[in-house]
Amino acid sequence: MMNRNKTKELALSGMIAALYVVLTWLANAMGLASGAVQVRFSEALTILPVFFTAAVPGLTVGCILANLLTGLALWDVVFGSLATLIGAAGTRMLRNKPLIAWIPPVLSNMLIVPIVLMKVYGAPESWFYLVLTVGAGEVISCGVLGLLLYHGLKKVVNTAAV
């Protein structure tokens, strides 16, 4: 039974990682994953740690793979994925307060990603602007889309034997 649960957790984590990659690629193909306000559909998945512990590593691995596959700089891959890990862990900690559980990914990305953008992509004096634009994209992705996903999943997940 213990191995069966670990296998289910690993499979779920892998599915979440794969979905994150596909949704990031889709947003990138539509031109939404870059620019002043970045809206990654995949960031809506950061609400999943409310339901599943396996979502934390799944989101992190998915972010690493998505960032590598979309050609981001190494520092962006490392620190963007770290922001996702921190945000997902924060969401998991707030799982009993799902209406505010979307906030940790927004904050971690708002604090980490602008520094990466400034250092790696040469925007040295734009921290405040980048905090606002990254934050706006994260609020759309994690807040609006993430909460829509939460409301769509809560009855299904609560009734399923996961």
DSSP state of 121: T
Identify whether the C-beta of residue 130 lies closer than 8 Å to the C-beta of residue 114.
yes
Domain encompassing residue 155:
2-31+40-159
DSSP one-letter code for 50: G
Provide the mean pLDDT of the chain: 91
pLDDT per residue as tens digits for the range 45-96: 999 999 999 999 999 999 999 999 988 789 889 999 999 999 999 999 999 9
Q: Residue 64 in 3-state DSSP?
A: helix
Contact call for residues 106 and 135 (beta carbons, < 8 A): yes
Domain count, the chain: 1
Residue 125 half-sphere exposure toward CB, CA atoms < 13 A: 0
122 φψ region: left (φ > 0), alpha (ψ -120 to 50), beta (else): left
| pTM of the predicted structure, to 2 decimals | 0.91
Residue type, 57: P
